[in-house]
Chains A and B, each alone.
Chain A
Amino acid sequence: MDGNLNMIGYGLAAIGPGVGIGLIFAAYISGVARQPEAQGRLQSIAILGFALAEALAIIGIALAFVL
């Protein structure tokens, strides 16, 4: 069985952003549950946080193919 060790490394590296994105959306959901009228404001903030946390996973996948 052959393959690239980079992919295992990427799998491990994706744990961090995965947990981070989970936390962001958990906070967003509980925020909306407490105050449904704040959904509009919270949504763009949540997606922004998601995008920033996701950037780490993106850098990871780019490096996994490049290195």
Chain B
Amino acid sequence: MTTMFGITMAESGGEFSPPGPNSFDFGAVPLFTVGEYAVTKPVVQLLLGALVVFVFFYAATRRASMVPGRMQFAGEAAYGMVRNSIARDIIGSHDYRKFVPYLVTLFFFLLVNNAFASIPLIQFPTFSRASMAYALAALSWVVYNAVGIRKHGFVGYLKLQSVPSGVTPLMYPLLVPLEFFSNILVRPVTLALRLFANMFAGHLLLILFSTGGLFLIEYGGIGYIAGPLAWVLAIAISFLELLVQFLQAYVFTLLNAMYISGPLADEH
């Protein structure tokens, strides 16, 4: 199997080829096709992620009893974490219940898909392909807008999101387009970009330190010291990545809850 970009010195012709956006191109190579649709590695990972989340929560709730077993305890702890620290704290105890299933699913789906970056043999973060992150952000865009429109009506919701309160009407021509732009149009983009860029940059760092270490060792001389050092750093960065993976899943879910809670909160 040949690599798509030179890893060893012989493949790259004596020059170090730094990893770049094209290091992720194999994510767009179809593994197999189903009818007209080509299935790539990230697509398989998405489905696998959904399956893992489903199986975990199914196994946790299948035999629910008053005295929880091991699986039930793990499931309840996981569910309670998102329910209490994200849904209830952000949306408020009045109407958070409706959104708990969505937020819990979202969090664990993201967590598993991000963790694929560190799981041996998979080692590719699903959301380092930007299209995946955009699709997920589009879903949350629909959800938070639908919640707002349902509560306030279409015009009322637009007014709530784009007309800031407590500002003199003189400033409206300046602020209304700006608020509309930031609340309706930019939100899903930053939501997607944050997830995508974190996964992308983390994976890029790992590629850089692993392939760079190999290059240095092949280079010889001081490379015999610097190369293994780069690999030690790659291991340290892997642990940092574990933290980032959790944090990004948390932040994505937290911001979703924030956007949902915006139109639901009562005016003061």
Identify the A interface with B (CB < 8 A): 40-41, 43-44, 47-48, 50-51, 54-55, 58-59, 61-62, 65
Contact = CB atoms under 8 A, between A and B. Distances in A.
Given A47-B247, A48-B255, A58 B193 contact: yes
- Which A-B residue pairs are the 7 nearest by beta carbons? A58-B197, A51-B251, A55-B190, A58-B194, A61-B197, A58-B193, A65-B21
B90 interface: yes
A interface majority secondary structure: helix
A17 to B, nearest CB: 12
Given A40-B89, A65-B21, A58 B190 contact: yes
B117 interface: no
Interface string B222-256: 00000000000000000000000001001100110
Contacts of A41: 89
Contacts of B250: 47
Contact of B255 (A43, A51, A65): A51
B198 interface: yes
A38 to B, nearest CB: 13
Interface residues of B, number: 19
Interface of B: 20-21, 85-86, 89-90, 190, 193-194, 197-198, 200-201, 247, 250-251, 254-255, 258
B interface majority secondary structure: helix
Given A48-B254, A59-B193, A61-B200, 17 more contacts: A40-B85, A40-B89, A43-B85, A44-B85, A44-B90, A47-B247, A47-B250, A50-B251, A55-B190, A55-B193, A55-B194, A58-B190, A58-B194, A58-B198, A61-B197, A62-B193, A65-B21
Contacts of A51: 194, 251, 254-255
Contacts of B254: 44, 47-48, 51
18 contacts: A40-B85, A40-B89, A41-B89, A43-B85, A44-B89, A47-B247, A47-B250, A47-B251, A48-B255, A51-B251, A51-B254, A51-B255, A54-B194, A58-B190, A58-B193, A58-B198, A61-B201, A65-B21
